[in-house]
Amino acid sequence: MSDAQGRTAVVTGGTSGVGLAVARRLCAAGADVILDYAHDDTAAADAVRSLDGLPGSAAVVKADVSDPVAFDGLLGEVRERFGGLDFFVHSSASFTPSPTLGTSPEAVERSLSVALSPLLHGAGRLSALMQGRAGRIVAVSSLGARRVVPGYVSGGVAKAALEALVRYLAAELAGSGITVNAVSTAKIDKADGSAPPALLKALAARTPGGRLTTPDDVAGVVALLCSDEAAWIQGQIVTVDGGFSLPAA
């Protein structure tokens, strides 16, 4: 995406990781971006400062997207500030690592709520905000939606449901000129020391691209799906993993 001047975007989970990388990419193209977050005020302030000097503008709004009332408030602020919306990128996620047999229903329900609530409860309002614009809705998913990742059952179930919802929304919103797609990725290299180095090395070694996926890799494809040239891509799950999912074992 080379030019998003005059366009507006909301990125959920936009103050860290993939969400922040997406916000940076859109802001660099000139978009006015609202970064949604739920908890960490310090990270939110740091995220906005990190986008200073880019052609677009950036602001944060604190709203738990799993709460329909809070999400309505977020969209209300978008309407008040900008009058409409061009891009909605859903990057928020929640999961509790645990084996399948040891997972609590509450953990799965929380993951499902974060993954689905914005698009289920907010689809009508998102569509209204995008009327008359080339609206783009992009969800961030993971390979755990289709493959078994140890300890990832709550996240995997939620992402599988999210991918199904993307297809259903795509079919219903296509007639309004709004595209709905998702990007799916493998283990992300967050460069924050949160994962064991040996694990990261092993995963990088089995990736044909020779390294792990970074937030910027994902952000680039999200930007592609938001571009005018992507207007005829609809209801697709685009895998962004450097070929990690290609080998049979």
The predicted pLDDT at position 3 comes to 86
- Is 152 known to be catalytic? yes
Find the mean pLDDT for residues 88-108: 94
> Which structure tokens are listed for 143?
């390979």
Q: 181: which strand partners?
A: 138
Those residues whose C-beta lies under 8 Å from the C-beta of residue 80, and which sit 6 or more positions away, are none
Helix, strand or coil, per DSSP, at residue 243: coil
Listed as own residue / partner, the contacts of 63-67 with beta carbons closer than 8 Å and 24 or more positions apart are: 63/36, 63/37, 63/38, 64/38, 65/12, 65/36, 65/38, 65/90, 65/92, 65/114, 65/117, 65/118, 66/94, 66/110, 66/113, 66/114, 66/117, 67/117
The predicted pLDDT at position 236 comes to 98
The CATH classification number of 8-239 equals: 3.40.50.720
Percent of the chain with pLDDT over 70: 100
Number of residues assigned to the chain = 249
Please say whether the dihedral angle defined by the alpha carbons of residues 105, 215, 142 and 84, taken in this order, is positive or negative. Answer: positive
Q: 59: which strand partners?
A: 34
* Residue 4 scores a pLDDT above 90: yes
Encode pLDDT of 190-241 as tens digits: 777 677 888 889 999 999 999 999 999 999 999 999 999 999 999 999 999 9
Encode pLDDT of 171-197 as tens digits: 999 999 999 999 999 999 877 767 788
Residue 137 has phi, psi (to 5 degrees) of -115, 125
The mean of the pLDDT values for the chain is 95
Find the mean pLDDT for residues 67-87: 97
Amino acid (one-letter) located at 40: D
User: pLDDT band at 82, cuts 50/70/90?
Assistant: very high
* Residue 163 scores a pLDDT above 80: yes
> Which structure tokens are listed for 195?
């994962």
The predicted pLDDT at position 248 comes to 83
- Is 168 known to be catalytic? no
The predicted pLDDT at position 1 comes to 72
Percent of the chain with pLDDT over 90: 92
Burial 177-194 (b: 16+ CB within 10 A, else e): ebbbbbbbbbbbeeeeee
Which of 37, 62, 152, 168 does the annotation list as catalytic?
152
Which of 62, 159, 187, 201 does the annotation list as catalytic?
159
The predicted pLDDT at position 6 comes to 94
Amino acid (one-letter) located at 57: S
Encode pLDDT of 123-144 as tens digits: 999 999 999 999 999 999 999 9
Q: How far apart are CA 205 and CA 142, in angstroms?
A: 19
